């Protein structure tokens, strides 16, 4: 059976936020006090991520809005089950839509015979790499900032690599930096897993972002959950001094 879902338009979200102000409510009020849906679902509504038809309509009714005035044009009311994105992928796409592709960061192949800190690298960033090869990841910052670097791998798991024990110094100066950072337990990352496309997303801020899940510099890379990405999405939307950059590459 097809699954019914709706997504709000930009103007629809603005009207919904104004309706909250009229009622002296917050998004948290809808989840905790009114109880129309979970906090994760309410956040999806206001971040323009598809939610179920019934809950979408109920949220609009509680806010005294006509749901047909809130939906995005050509909103996917009917979606075949087999092409639906997982909630995690929907959140990733929403984050990526807030950024821009950039050529100033990417993968650098490392020769296996030079895996020390004085490794030899190609001069360009790779758009495809083979399983079993070794890479470092380079980022070129136009100004000093705090680097939050997350990856979506070919298994569609999302990981935070900076900060982590492979990047214990996320506060960076202008210019090029490489991961793993010098002094971390490894000097390069092995390409593992299954073939497919992987994505890297960088969030650059002036100071460390206020995220409950933000790892410390001695932690293992953290696998991010749906709730973690929702919190990151809210932070990016609310931040005035934040850059979101991304790149992608093929694993063969």
- CATH number, domain containing residue 64: 1.10.260.40
| 122 has a pLDDT exceeding 60 | no
Query: Over the stretch 154-167, which tens digit does the pLDDT of each residue have?
Result: 988 999 999 999 99
Q: Establish if 94 belongs to a structural domain.
A: no
| Closest listed residue to residue 28, CA positions, set 240, 230, 239, 241 | 230
- Is 92 within a domain? no
The pTM assigned to this predicted structure is: 0.66
Residue 181's pLDDT is 92
Are the CB atoms for 132 and 190 separated by under 8 Å?
yes
pLDDT given at position 81: 42
Helical axes 10-23 vs 39-46, angle rounded to 10°: 120
Q: What is the pairing mode between strands 105-110 and 134-141?
A: antiparallel
Residue 57: domain span? 3-82
Domains identified in the chain, total number = 2
Would residue 87 count as lying in a domain?
A: no
Distance CA 11, CA 14 (A): 5
Least confident of 198-202, 218-222, 235-239: 235-239
Give the model confidence (pLDDT) of 136-149 as tens digits.
999 988 889 999 99
Boundary (domain end) residue, out of 82, 115, 136: 82
- Taking only the tens place, the pLDDT of each residue in 181-193 is 988 888 999 998 8
Establish if 132 belongs to a structural domain.
yes
Question: Using one digit for the tens of pLDDT, what is the confidence trace for 46-100?
Answer: 888 888 888 899 999 999 999 989 998 764 444 434 445 678 888 888 888 888 7
Phi, psi for residue 14 in degrees, rounded to 5: -60, -40
């Amino acid at each position: 059976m097809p699954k019914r879902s709706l997504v709000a338009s930009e103007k629809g979200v603005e009207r919904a936020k104004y309706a909250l102000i009229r009622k002296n409510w917050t998004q948290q009020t809808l989840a905790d006090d009114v109880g129309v849906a979970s906090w994760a679902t309410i956040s999806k509504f206001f971040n323009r991520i598809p939610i179920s038809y019934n809950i979408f309509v109920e949220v609009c009714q509680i806010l005294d809005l006509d749901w047909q005035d809130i939906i995005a044009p050509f909103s996917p009311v009917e979606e075949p089950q087999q092409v639906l994105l997982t909630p995690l992928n929907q959140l990733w796409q929403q984050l990526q839509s807030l950024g821009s592709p950039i050529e100033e960061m990417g993968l650098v192949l490392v020769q296996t015979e030079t895996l020390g800190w004085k490794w030899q690298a190609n001069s360009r960033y790779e758009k495809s790499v083979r399983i079993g090869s070794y890479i470092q990841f380079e980022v070129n910052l136009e100004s000093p900032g705090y680097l939050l670097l997350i990856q979506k791998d070919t298994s569609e798991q999302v990981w935070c690599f900076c900060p982590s024990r492979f990047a214990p110094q996320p506060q960076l100066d202008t210019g090029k930096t490489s991961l793993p950072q010098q002094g971390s337990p490894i000097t390069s990352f092995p390409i593992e897993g299954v073939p497919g496309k992987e994505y890297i997303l960088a969030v650059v801020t002036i100071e460390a972002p206020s995220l409950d899940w933000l790892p410390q510099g001695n932690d293992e890379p953290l696998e991010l959950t749906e709730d973690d990405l929702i919190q990151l999405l809210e932070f990016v939307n609310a931040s005035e001094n934040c850059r979101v950059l991304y790149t992608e590459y093929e694993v063969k």
